[in-house]
Every structure is written in C-alpha cells, then in structure tokens.
C-alpha cells in the first residue's frame, strides 16, 4: 500500500512509483485525496499583472523579459500606483480573490521596495489577497514586505536541481531556496512551483515535486506552468509537453502536497477544455484569470467563465 498521508519526508522512489502508476489509478488516487482536503467543485482565482516589464539581466532561457534575447517585449518602468490599483479593482470585479504583481528584476533593490510596499497596501485595501514576484530577496526585505501586509511571495524553482543549470546560469538553485526560506521565516505564505517543457525529462518533474513536498513547510500555492514558447528565446523550438505527462505531474503534486493549492498556470490558452477538466479532476484547484500573465497570452476571462459554467465549478 502507498502511504498517502501528509508528510515532508517523501523518498524519490516513492514519488516515482506513484507517478508511474497506470493513468486511471493515478488520477483516481489524486482525486480521492483532493476531495479530503478541498472542495472539488471550487477553483481559486488569481490575477497576475506585470508592474515592471523587461530589462531583466538574468539569462532564464524561457523568458521574454531577459535583455539577453531579441524578443518583442518593450522595456517599461515601474508602473504608477494609480494604474496598479485600477487593474486590481478590475481583477476583483472579474472574480479574482488574489492579485499578484510581478517585476522583471533579478533581485529587489531597496530603491524599489517602498514602491512595492505602497502597491501591497493599496491592493489590500480593496479586500484582495496580495502576492508579488520580484526575484531574489534578502532576509530584511522579506520582513519589510510582511510588515506591509503581503500575503504570498512567488518564487518558482522551475525544475530539478540537476537540470536547473541548463535553464539558468545567472543564479543558483540554492539562491532560489534561500529566498523561499527568507519568505517563510518572515511569516509570508509561499507560492512556488515549476515549468514543464524546458527540455527536462519526467524524472526532473518528479524531482521538482520531491523538493517542494519535502520543504519544512509545503508551499501554500504550487503553480504548474506549461512553457509558453517565446520567439527569440533559446527554448522557442522546444518540443511540446505530452498532455498525459502534464496531467500526471498535476496528480503527483496533489498527492505529495494534499493541502496546497495546485495552480494551473501559464500555457492554459493552448490547453483544450477537456485537458483542463482532467487537470481539475487530478487535483488542480487554482487558475490565473486575465488576458495576460505578465507578458504571456492567457485564456480569456469569458472563456474561463464559460468553462466553469460547463463544469458547474464555483470560484473563490
């Protein structure tokens, strides 16, 4: 019998065994566990906005905002507070309960910290949960963000530690883990997941889940992204992710992290409704609402509303 209780001492072989179950057995196990910890007919809605676009010095080989690649993204300065609040109000009107703000920085510098804190305070006043993704943080910056009322900090691991060096060379896996630790120690909830389609193997996806599930405290939110191929980036010609492999990863994340919200994130606009429905059955219970995710195209609000109605799923 597989041990499916909540734990953070999973072995890699345990997770491999689960991942490689017959497909129907895998998603049935993940769905049963999903029902124990979540309402299977509710989806949490977040909206993600770019508050500072382009000009990032990192070399993440999937990213449209890196200055190292010739993409169609224009560099934009940090947006004024008024514009951010206007977008947050619109997100709330569309049904979002969390507003996420992303900035294309390698790391947050103290000159920008005050601007971000103002945004957090302003969005919180609207009655929305707040999340930011700003690159690497120091311990002191995490504490300051917590004082401003920040609810979540997103900092993805992307892939396995072994494969990571083929994706990014301008920061280390340890750098990412350190930021996650500072966020957690400051009392901020952690949003941390990865991207499928970077050229990795299935074992890298399993290893990613292994790291996340074995953190001292599992992330409250786990975004699973499908690579959005951007012309001009090194990964533009990558092979598509097998749909069943993607669903298997969702199911594994649900089994390994029963309490976490598993977010079906970037790449949804290329998924048909049937695939998304299977992901929801396998344990995904959060999505991003809105026409764009930072700079990537997203499924339209109208389409998502139609899909939720078809599936008779409510939103939170």
Q: Average pLDDT, stretch 12-34? A: 97
Q: Residue 2: is its pLDDT beyond 70? A: no
Q: Average pLDDT, stretch 8-24? A: 96
30 domain-assigned: no
* Integer angstrom CA distances of residue 87 from 75, 115, 123, 240, 292: 19, 16, 10, 32, 12
5 domain-assigned: no
Q: Average pLDDT, stretch 100-113? A: 85
Instruction: Say if residues 175 and 129 touch (Cβ distance below 8 Å).
Output: no
Percent of the chain past pLDDT 70, that is, above it, reads: 95
Span 193-221, pLDDT tens digits: 999 999 999 999 999 999 999 999 999 99
Q: Which residue has the higher pLDDT, 254 or 91?
A: 254
- pLDDT value at position 292? 53
228 domain-assigned: yes
CATH of the domain at 125: 3.20.20.70
- pLDDT value at position 199? 96
pLDDT averaged over every residue in the chain: 91
Span 62-71, pLDDT tens digits: 988 888 888 7
Which residues are known catalytic residues? 56, 60, 63, 100, 131, 191, 263
Q: Residue 4: is its pLDDT beyond 70? A: no
Q: Which residue has the higher pLDDT, 77 or 187?
A: 187
At CA 145, angle to CA 141 and CA 147, rounded to 5?
A: 115
pTM value is 0.91
7 domain-assigned: no
Domain that holds residue 267: 41-315
Q: Which residue has the tokens 């598509």?
A: 240
Q: Residue 3: is its pLDDT beyond 80? A: no
Number of domains present in the structure of the chain:
1
Q: Round to whole Å and give the CA distance between 106 and 87.
A: 24
115 domain-assigned: yes
Q: Which residue has the higher pLDDT, 94 or 297?
A: 94
Span 219-247, pLDDT tens digits: 999 999 999 998 989 999 999 999 999 99
230 domain-assigned: yes
34 domain-assigned: no
- pLDDT value at position 1? 39
Q: Please list, residue by residue across 11-28, b when 16 or more beta carbons sit within 10 angstroms of its beta carbon and e when fewer do.
A: eeebbeebbebeeeebbe
Tokens encoding 62: 């999937």
29 domain-assigned: no
Span 254-313, pLDDT tens digits: 999 999 999 998 888 889 999 999 999 999 999 887 655 555 556 677 888 888 899 999
């Amino acid at each position: 019998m597989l041990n499916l209780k909540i734990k953070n001492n999973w072995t890699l072989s345990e997770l491999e065994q689960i991942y490689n179950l017959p497909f129907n057995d895998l998603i049935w196990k993940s769905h049963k566990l999903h029902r124990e910890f979540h309402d299977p007919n509710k989806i949490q809605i977040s909206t993600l906005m770019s508050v500072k676009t382009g000009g990032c010095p990192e070399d993440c080989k999937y990213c449209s905002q890196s200055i190292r690649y010739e993409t169609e993204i224009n560099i934009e300065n940090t947006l004024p507070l008024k514009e951010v609040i206007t977008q947050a109000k619109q997100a709330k009107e569309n049904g979002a309960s969390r507003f996420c703000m992303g900035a294309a920085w390698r790391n947050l510098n103290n000159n920008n910290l005050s601007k971000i804190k103002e945004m957090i305070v302003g969005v919180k006043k609207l009655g929305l949960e707040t999340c930011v993704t700003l690159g690497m943080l120091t311990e002191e910056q995490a504490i300051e963000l917590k004082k401003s009322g920040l609810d979540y900090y997103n900092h993805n691991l992307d892939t396995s530690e072994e494969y990571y060096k083929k994706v990014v060379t301008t920061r280390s896996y340890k750098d990412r883990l350190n930021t996650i630790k500072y966020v957690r120690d400051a009392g901020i909830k952690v949003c941390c997941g990865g991207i499928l389609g970077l050229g990795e193997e299935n074992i890298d996806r399993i290893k990613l889940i292994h790291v996340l599930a074995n953190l001292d405290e599992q992330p409250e939110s786990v975004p699973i992204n499908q690579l959005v191929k951007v012309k001009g980036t090194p990964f533009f010609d990558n092979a598509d992710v097998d749909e069943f492999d993607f669903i298997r990863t969702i199911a594994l994340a649900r089994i390994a992290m029963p309490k976490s919200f598993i977010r079906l994130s970037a790449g949804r606009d290329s998924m048909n409704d049937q695939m998304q429905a299977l992901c929801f059955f396998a344990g995904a219970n959060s999505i991003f609402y809105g026409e764009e995710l930072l700079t990537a195209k997203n499924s339209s609000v109208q389409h998502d509303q139609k899909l939720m109605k078809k599936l008779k799923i409510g939103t939170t």
